[in-house]
Amino acid sequence: MAKPIERVEIITGIHRRRRYTAEEKVRLVEQTMQPGMTVSAVARLHGVSPSLLFQWRRRMAEGGQEAVRADEEVVPISRVRELENRVRELERLLGRKTMETEILREALEQARPKKLTLRLPSPPPAGSR
């Protein structure tokens, strides 16, 4: 007799992939670390690919190592990208303002009236009279 199906998941909509929250990923990875549990067993229990669980474990380990090595918080890559985009935008704005400043400086120099300097006659060369 065949084993009864415990769970069937139907994915509807335009998205073909399931999205897992960070909490779900951490919970599943922590289950793989429990004594007597294997990655394959946890993957079967939750309907997740074992390779995906291995990937999450590796990323958690790398992130933890980086945090310890740098003695800083681990920042999500999405936040890093967001900040990089912000820096690019600010650099673009700074370039524009610098160019405007140079143009205004040149316009001021041209608009200022030139100071007339009085030239004094030079003294006659020595010995001539």
pLDDT score of 14: 66
**pLDDT at residue number 10:** 62
When pLDDT is cut at 50, 70 and 90, the band that residue 101 belongs to is very high
What pLDDT, on a 0 to 100 scale, did the predictor assign at position 93?
A: 96
Higher pLDDT, 75 or 93: 93
CA distances from 129 to 5, 60, 95 (A): 124, 96, 62
Query: Please, are residues 34 and 6 in contact by the beta-carbon 8 Å criterion?
Result: no
Would you place residue 46 in the very low, low, confident or very high pLDDT band (cuts 50, 70, 90)? confident
Q: Is the pLDDT of residue 125 over 70?
A: yes
Residue 56 has what pLDDT?
Answer: 85
Q: What pLDDT sits at residue 94?
A: 96
Residue 115 has pLDDT above 80, yes or no: no
pLDDT beyond 60 at 114: yes
Q: What is the pLDDT of residues 17-33, one digit of tens each?
A: 778 888 888 888 888 88
Q: Residues of 55-86 as b/e, b for ≥16 C-beta within 10 angstroms?
A: ebbeebeeeeeeeeeeeeeeeeeeeeeeeeee
